[in-house]
A and B are shown apart, each in its own frame.
Chain A
Amino acid sequence: MLSEEERQRYDRQIIVRGIGEEGQEKLKQARVVIAGTGGLGTPTALYLAAAGVGTIRLIDNDKVELGNLNRQILHWTKDIGRNKVDSASEKLRQLNDKIEVEAVTETITEATVSRLLSGFTLVLDGTDNLEARFVINSYAVKNGIPFIHGAVNGFEGRLTTIIPGKTPCLGCIYRGTIPHIKTPVIGVTPAVIGTLEATEAIKYITGVGQLLTNQLLVYNGLRMRFTILNIKRDPACNYCCHL
């Protein structure tokens, strides 16, 4: 049941067609992981906290650096040197003290992924490398957990929602990793893609609208263009071919 305070806090979204008190209750009961609290993860976390997602686990092993502040909007100058998840969770709790925010300072690896993601119903991509994404993808596929994928470079971004067994997984879309480079990013790009990830999460949790499944959104901020490509499951995919 929503409290009177929650009804007031979420009034504007409760009156959105398709959400209502029932949808708000679903958001309250939801347990999501945001893997990474950088450029993508911070706007995602901000909007999910504001929307009243009941439990948000933030996972990141990094500390805040000066060079993060052009894009990682939950980390401020005073936070330099702090654990990112502590910095981010502090602001989220100030924004919304009615939700649970779990701050986990760890790296997602094959050895830790099960412990870190177990018990959660949705994973959002806030990572900054393909290796971590494939580890999450593998766990998500094995355990049937939806995984909302985003990635950015410069003014360019990608987004898709992976429903294991029903849609292509990350291994169906990307058949290999790319060389490690220092990725150029202007902050507004992960802001766009991270907010779109949050949009997909809210839709998934409440059941409103249609998810971006079986499609890859390609965002071009320089020309302000959103292109949709139709992606397909790979029958030989190393991750999901058995499903």
Chain B
Amino acid sequence: MSIKLTMPVFLQAITNDKETIEVSGSTVGECIDAVIKIYPALKKMLIDDKGKLHNYVGIYINGEDAFPDELKKPVNDGDTVHVLYTLAGG
């Protein structure tokens, strides 16, 4: 299944300025694993030492908040998964 994973500007420094990366997967977690295979530096930005999503990273499937258990949420062909990174600047 083809899923469009959309990265925040903050993480596009790692994805060579690519905003949307098409990956395959049937869950959010599989999609995240797939994008980490392409850009290994994303791993520590998204996933903690226990293999869970950092609590400052949000996941939105087709614009809807996927919290809780985001990584287990199923995705379907053509879905857009938006990765939201917490910003703190002002």
Minimum CB–CB distance from B85 to chain A (whole Å) comes to 8
Q: Which residues of A contact B87 (CB under 8 A)?
A: 151-153, 156-158
- B residues less than 8 Å from A41 (CB atoms): 90
| Contact residue among A130, A222, A234 (Cβ-Cβ distance under 8 Å from B9) | A222
For the complex, give the distance between the alpha carbons of A103 and B20 in Å: 45
Give 1 or 0 for each of B47-76: 1 = CB within 8 Å of chain A CB: 000000011101010011101000000000
B82 within 8 A of A: yes
- B55 touching A150 by the CB < 8 A rule? no
Task: Tell me which of A126, A157, A174, A183 contacts B56 (CB under 8 A).
Answer: A174
In whole angstroms, how far apart are the Cα atoms of A133 and B87 in the complex?
11
Pairs A–B under 8 Å by Cβ, sample size 13: A152-B87, A156-B9, A156-B87, A157-B87, A175-B55, A175-B67, A190-B89, A220-B9, A220-B19, A229-B82, A230-B63, A232-B64, A232-B65
Q: A-B pairs with the 7 shortest C-beta distances?
A: A176-B55, A183-B89, A128-B90, A156-B9, A151-B87, A175-B55, A40-B90
Residues of A within 8 A of B (CB): 36, 38-41, 125-130, 133, 150-158, 173-178, 183-185, 190, 216, 218, 220, 222-223, 227-232, 234
Binding site for A on B (CB under 8 A): 8-10, 19, 54-56, 58, 60, 63-65, 67, 82, 84, 86-90
